[in-house]
A and B are shown apart, each in its own frame.
Chain A
């Protein structure tokens, strides 16, 4: 252990990974699709800073989240900086400081990575890709429904065939726990057990603290309830005349009715025992699941008191989608079909550089992806040679200027995907030649959405 010889060191930090071109292209396209939809619903993007002062942001972060933050010192002020662990708290800070406009409601969205120390075995990255939205300054079941409908729309836009949104209200279970009369310490224990649906432990706490049998059974059973109208009916029987239980139930019922009217009721299940890891939620909460990924793809809820912690009292609601998990839930081809953009390669000798440059730019302007390369030896400027060297074999087409046997206005064209045989064409005819030969053969050199003209 105290050897002076260094052990081999890991080359990548735990939880960090590069997205390689094929994945990166898909992820970015997925993000564009999602941001496009969100934009159509009137949400405007905020790009939050990557780090913040810990003492400022911590007002909006629960202790368990704080413990997972990456922190470092700011040498100019001696204060501690934190890599953003959660964008919602940042937006709350931004809005509380009066930025973002005075006209309510505010509709914001973000595409951002957040950073958290995650235990290795959980199998998730420490840099998490998120897309999220916040609806700030308004409270009401129709606003809760707006976010839920947007979440459903995003799942559909991503092409998920099947998904379930679990919808609950933290007020219901909190009220039941208040009724139990547990001491603050025991209540935290019960809340922890409830959040993890650890029924044996909850049962034990309730028995030790002599909570009445009837209430104990309700507390336990609530955590197992999951359904639709049956859950609401069951909740009403429990609630009786207690307004503090009826209110969250009525809110939930009314949000649910909006979802049914919008034709999305079939994607929703109600869960009165749902708790969230973030302690700022205080109303309707929701998560979205699909049965191919063992965890929620995203979720959120109402946080009417979070922005107040930064000094400006505004009711709010929001959600975030975990891009990595959503990506894992999509089947190949969902939402964005695979278009590997194979380039057209324009090759020339140095003395034809100007002509090659003009040709490359002309092709790019009409939508082709073009790689321009200059070869220094005349021998290398031969299709035969390229083939032997296995260079540019994945290009959709190779265009050669200035090779032996070509006049100033001519070029060789070869399609590596079919054969390397070169045919001689006039440079001026190239766009139309490429158009017919490459596109008709199905090789794809186009930028998505645009046809070369």
Chain B
């Protein structure tokens, strides 16, 4: 088992719990500042190289084989549908992808019966409403989704909900839960075959130390 595997870790909320899970599994990842400049960390002791990248970039790195393994939220996987293997639910960073609307919803004064949805997840939202036969108009936003209904930009939103405090603060109520999300371990299809021993060891050790139930972030 001399080969090294490259692991792409998601920057941001998932990073600290991921690194602590790796430590509990007996690996030796370095101290990484979330906003640090360094993006590549060699861990020869564990036969690993860690990449710290944006969550939405993790699937691309793994799908193309630039990284053998990735740790990324299920929300990103549902949005991008990458062609990778998804071997393990790490059960950290749990949250749900939900539909929310203003408490005092008034029907918008428009001819079209389409419901306007503001979201960071256009694919998830479109699939969800299409499968239910609801005509929608998707507005892709990059942040602060909860602002959209308040300003009249959209009728509803599709967004991540963890504690529900953000929704409350903006007078929004959750109407439907689309899916649950938590951090997943994904693997490149070729790497699983060509570097099987290293990857199997990583999966087995993380499986032993992951939480018994999904933990909210």
* Given A164-B194, A269-B196, A291-B194, A296 and B189 contact (CB-CB distance below 8 Å): yes
Residues on A with C-beta less than 8 A from B60 are 121
CB distance from A193 to the nearest CB of B (A): 9
Interface string of B160-198 (1 = CB under 8 A from A): 000000000000000000000000100111111111100
> Which residue in B86, B88, B192 is a CB contact (below 8 Å) of A226?
B192
B126 to chain A: closest CB distance in Å?
14
CA distance in complex: A201, B194 (Å): 25
- CB–CB B194/A289 < 8 A: yes
Docked pose: A198 CA to B85 CA in angstroms = 6
Q: Which of B3, B62, B66, B193 contacts A269 (CB 8 A)?
A: B193
Q: Please classify how large the interface on chain A is, using the bins under 10, 10 to 19, 20 to 34, 35 or more.
A: 20 to 34
A236 within 8 A of B: no
Mark contacts of A285-305 with chain B using CB atoms, 8 A cut-off: 1 yes-contact digit, 0 otherwise: 001011111111000000000
- Count A/B pairs, Cβ under 8 Å: 72
Kindly list chain A residues whose C-beta atoms are within 8 Å of the C-beta of B48: none
Quick one: given A122-B83, A198-B86, A226-B200, are A295 and B65 in contact (CB under 8 Å)?
Answer: yes
- The listed residue with most A CB atoms (<10 A of its CB), out of B189, B192, B193, is B193
User: Per-position contact with B for A35-48: 1 when CB-CB < 8 Å, else 0?
Assistant: 00000000000000
CB distance from B147 to the nearest CB of A (A): 24
Q: How large is the interface on B (under 10, 10 to 19, 20 to 34, 35 or more residues)?
A: 20 to 34
B75 within 8 A of A: no
User: Do A121 and B80 have beta carbons less than 8 Å apart?
Assistant: yes
Which B residue sits closest to A166, measured CB to CB?
Answer: B193
- In the assembled complex, the CB of B14 is this many whole angstroms from the nearest CB of chain A, namely 16
A123 & B64 in contact (Cβ 8 Å cutoff)? yes
* Interface pair A294/B65, CB less than 8 Å apart: yes
| Given A291-B195, A294-B64, A295-B65: A196 and B86 interface contact (C-beta under 8 Å) | yes
Q: Is A134 an interface residue (CB 8 A)?
A: no
B155 within 8 A of A: no
* Across-interface contacts of B203 in A (CB, < 8 A): 224
- Report the minimum CB–CB distance from B18 to chain A (whole Å): 16
* Contacts of A118-168 to chain B: CB distance below 8 A: 121-123, 164, 166
Ordered by A's residue number, 18 sampled pairs between the chains whose C-beta atoms are within 8 Å are: A121-B80, A164-B193, A164-B194, A166-B193, A196-B85, A197-B85, A197-B86, A197-B87, A199-B88, A203-B89, A224-B87, A224-B200, A226-B200, A269-B193, A271-B193, A289-B190, A292-B65, A294-B191
